[in-house]
């Protein structure tokens, strides 16, 4: 039992594995890390403690900046540097209110990598030209991956439909090899990964590494409440749903009482919730009403969203906070990939990374052993 009351369930008897040898790919060379394992920047999960733990273990941690004001993300960047001297990144959601201010902070703090999601990253590539900073584009289509490479990003995170949070329509198994065959820069596979077998499979499909979000959310260093981690551990592969009813766009979350009420038509977001959500979002972002409205207008144009749909997004964000911060696993919203059905323990980050890489080496060896002599 940990200090926070969590039950620690080691994957193997005899304690965590020893530090494995480096598993080098073009991604590890680009990022300056030992292992091709990236912590996906999930809101309310990608906090300094978790990010630093991943980087200290030889992977690459990424801070989540969604719903943070510029001053807060600056504090988070400096907090990470108090815990680790290893490389890390921060994510930037294009078009969200105050995103320009966040970009300014990233440049001022010289964050090693910015993970850009939504929209074209060309503006950010131009902004960081000549600086020792890398740009990663998070995409869900071949077209966007090709365009991002043409514009000059250093690496691509290809996210399949199995992932948690906002998702597209194409599975990782199909999307990953398509993108890997169309671009020359390193590709990170996201959506459906939690262990060594997934890592080896991703490498076979053309990736240079994997990103794990849900898996890192269920670790000792994750800030999620115990009640929420418990719900993740209880889930099967069938316990997630994809719905536009929470934020206005397709969102994969764990099924619970709230999503069931949505499906039954009992709980659409009221205008009161939408307005309240917008006010709470503006407060958390620390931006003026004018900048908040401009950001909303930008998102409205980009996604062809109505004012009502933007209200959905704000109200949905408050529901996510209700689960991920307040611990309400019944009436809050818990973004999760389908891979939650494969997660059955709560290891420390170092144990998880070492175990994944050690077992990946074993899987690679066993594959060679299965091949008949030529």
Structural domains of the chain, ranges and CATH numbers in brackets:
26-223+344-360 (3.20.20.70), 227-324 (no CATH)
Q: Is the pLDDT higher at 121 or at 11?
A: 121
pLDDT at 362 > cutoff 90:
yes
pLDDT at 11 > cutoff 50:
no
Choose the weakest-confidence range: 67-71, 134-138, 167-171, 312-316: 312-316
pLDDT of residue 130: 92
Tokens of 114: 């910015």
- The DSSP code for 369 is H
pLDDT at 303 > cutoff 70:
no
Residue in 352, 332, 331, 333 with CA at minimum distance from that of residue 343:
352
Give SS3 for 264.
coil
Q: Label residue 78 by pLDDT band (50, 70, 90).
A: very high
Q: What is the pLDDT of residues 259-291, one digit of tens each?
A: 988 887 655 555 455 455 445 544 544 545 444
d(CA 41, CA 39): 6
pLDDT of residue 280: 52
Mean pLDDT for the stretch of residues 33-38:
98
pLDDT of residue 299: 46
How large a percentage of the chain has pLDDT more than 90?
A: 70
pLDDT of residue 15: 61
Q: 63 pairs with which residues across the strands?
A: 90
Residue in 82, 85, 80, 125 with CA at minimum distance from that of residue 103:
125
Q: What angle do CA 263, 193, 16 make, to 5 degrees?
A: 125
Helices (H), the chain: 26-31, 48-56, 70-83, 99-109, 122-127, 142-151, 172-182, 196-204, 214-217, 226-234, 257-263, 271-285, 289-303, 307-324, 349-370
pTM, two decimal places: 0.85
Cβ neighbourhood burial of 55 (10 Å; 0-12, 13-18, 19+): buried
Q: What is the pLDDT of residues 79-105, one digit of tens each?
A: 999 999 999 999 999 988 788 999 999
pLDDT at 308 > cutoff 80:
no
Tokens of 141: 């289509």
96-100, 144-148, 295-299: which has the highest mean pLDDT?
A: 144-148
Q: Is the pLDDT higher at 267 or at 190?
A: 190
Q: Is the pLDDT higher at 283 or at 209?
A: 209
């Amino acid at each position: 039992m940990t200090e926070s009351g969590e039950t620690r369930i080691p994957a193997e008897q005899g304690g965590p594995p020893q530090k494995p040898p480096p598993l080098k790919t073009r991604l590890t060379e680009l990022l300056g890390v030992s292992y091709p394992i990236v912590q996906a920047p999930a809101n309310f999960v990608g906090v300094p403690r978790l990010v630093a733990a991943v980087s200290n273990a030889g992977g690459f941690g990424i801070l989540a900046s969604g719903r943070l004001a510029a001053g807060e993300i600056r504090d988070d960047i400096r907090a990470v540097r108090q815990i680790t001297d290893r490389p890390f990144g921060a994510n930037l959601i294009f078009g969200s209110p105050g995103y320009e201010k966040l970009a300014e902070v990233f440049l001022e703090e010289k964050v090693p990598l910015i993970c850009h999601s939504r929209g074209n990253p060309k503006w950010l590539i131009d902004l960081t030209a000549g600086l020792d900073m890398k740009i990663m584009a998070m995409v869900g289509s071949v077209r966007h991956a090709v365009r991002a490479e043409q514009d000059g990003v250093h690496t691509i995170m290809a996210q399949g439909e199995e992932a948690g949070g906002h998702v597209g329509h194409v599975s990782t198994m199909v999307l990953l090899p398509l993108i890997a065959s169309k671009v020359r820069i390193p590709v990170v596979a996201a959506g459906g990964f939690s262990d060594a077998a997934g890592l080896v499979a991703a490498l076979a499909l053309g990736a240079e590494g994997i990103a794990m979000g849900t898996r890192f959310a269920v670790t000792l260093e994750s800030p999620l409440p115990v009640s929420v981690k418990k719900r993740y551990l209880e889930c099967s592969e069938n316990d997630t749903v994809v719905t536009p009813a929470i934020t206005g766009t397709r969102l994969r979350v764990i099924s619970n009482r709230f999503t069931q009420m949505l499906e039954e038509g009992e709980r659409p977001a009221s205008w009161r919730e939408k307005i309240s959500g917008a006010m709470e979002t503006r407060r958390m972002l620390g931006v003026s009403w004018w900048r908040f409205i401009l950001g909303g207008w930008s998102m409205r144009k980009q996604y062809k969203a109505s004012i009502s749909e933007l209200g959905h997004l704000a109200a949905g964000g408050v529901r996510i906070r209700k689960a991920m911060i307040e611990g309400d696993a019944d009436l809050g919203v818990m973004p999760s990939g389908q891979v939650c059905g494969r997660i059955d323990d709560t290891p420390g980050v170092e144990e998880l990374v070492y175990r994944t890489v050690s077992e990946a080496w074993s899987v690679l060896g066993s594959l060679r052993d299965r091949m008949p002599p030529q």
